[in-house]
Amino acid sequence: MQGRAVLVDLVRVFGAGRTLVGYAALMEALEHLKVVIERGDMLVLRTGFAEALLDMQGRPQPDVLKNTGAVLDGSDQALLEWITESGISAICADNYAVENLDRELEPGCCSKLPLHHHCLFKLGLPLAELWYLKDIAEWLYSRGRTRFLLTAPPLRLPGAIGSPVTPVATV
């Protein structure tokens, strides 16, 4: 992947605690941070999760991590519709799975990860997770910016259906 990325620093808006971010909360964050998203942009979400994980110095504390960082609410139909209509080309985050992994299945529901189902299977929209975003977030904020060139090449794994990437921000 390569193109313009737009960083939404959810830590700056909601803090580092667990916050379920649906459409209304995302729109609030975009307005608060003065972020403009255009068709083709890669949406990059800083939640603080990767920072907390690294601060644990190789000794992850699941009970703490479960209450750390914002997660998208994949059950919010308005959020899924916005993802479709916005024309974004990827969603990248510094947490596990981008969306809420602790979601309980509702009666009649068939997917524990509805955002994954919507983005990956319906739209072909890539999701990236566990990126370290603190440094780029602070650099952009100190200069009043939210956009940068993002290059995220995958490993060369012929025939594979997924790959870790090595993201590089150019500012």
SS (H, E, C) 105-126: CCCCCCCCCHHHHHHHHHHCCC
For residue 120, what are its two tokens? 């990956």
Residues 4-27 have a mean pLDDT of: 97
Taking 80 as the threshold, does the pLDDT of residue 78 lie above it?
Answer: yes
For the domain spanning 2-170, the CATH number is: 3.50.30.50
Residues 138-146 have a mean pLDDT of: 98
Q: Where are the alpha helices (DSSP H) in the chain?
A: 10-14, 23-33, 49-55, 62-65, 77-86, 114-116, 134-142
* pTM flag (> 0.85): yes
CB 105 within 8 A of CB 112: yes
Amino acid identity, residue 4?
R
- Domain ranges across the chain: 2-170
pLDDT at 16: 94
